[in-house]
Amino acid sequence: MKNVVITGSTRGLGFCMGKEFLNAGCNVTFSGRGEAPNENLKSLMELYKDQTFYVQCDVRKIDSIENLWNESAKKWKKIDIWINNAGV
């Protein structure tokens, strides 16, 4: 089982990628600027309780990115795939 981190994954392409990784049996850390997941992400996380994790992250701030890495590594023990999806 792979452990995946996706920045900017509360909606759009990042959200869809996360869903597909979950369907493939991966663990997924979702992230976004909000303090908590939005309603769509909450619903998905309820379906895949043991395979999902949410970390608030603003990719414009290095300490926020480091926190995303550290929290994900703590949760899953290792990170296999990192997808930079956030940003304009």
**What is the CATH classification number for the domain harbouring 29?**
3.40.50.720
* Residue 19 forms part of a structural domain: yes
pLDDT score of 87: 74
Supply the range of the domain harboring residue 48.
Answer: 3-83
**Residue 63 located in a structural domain:** yes
Mean of per-residue pLDDT scores for the chain: 96
Length of the chain: 88
In a domain, 88, yes or no: no
Section 13-36 average pLDDT: 97
Is there a domain that residue 67 lies in? yes
Q: How far apart are CA 25 and CA 36, in angstroms?
A: 24
Bigger pLDDT: 80 vs 86: 80
Residue 56 included in any domain: yes
Asked whether residue 88 carries a pLDDT value surpassing 70, the answer given is no
Count of domains forming the chain: 1
Domain contains 49: yes
Tell me the Ramachandran region of residue 55: left when phi exceeds 0, alpha when psi lies from -120 to 50, beta otherwise. beta
Q: Assign 81 to helix, strand or coil.
A: strand
User: Tens digits of per-residue pLDDT, 72-85?
Assistant: 999 999 999 999 99
Mean pLDDT of 22-28: 98
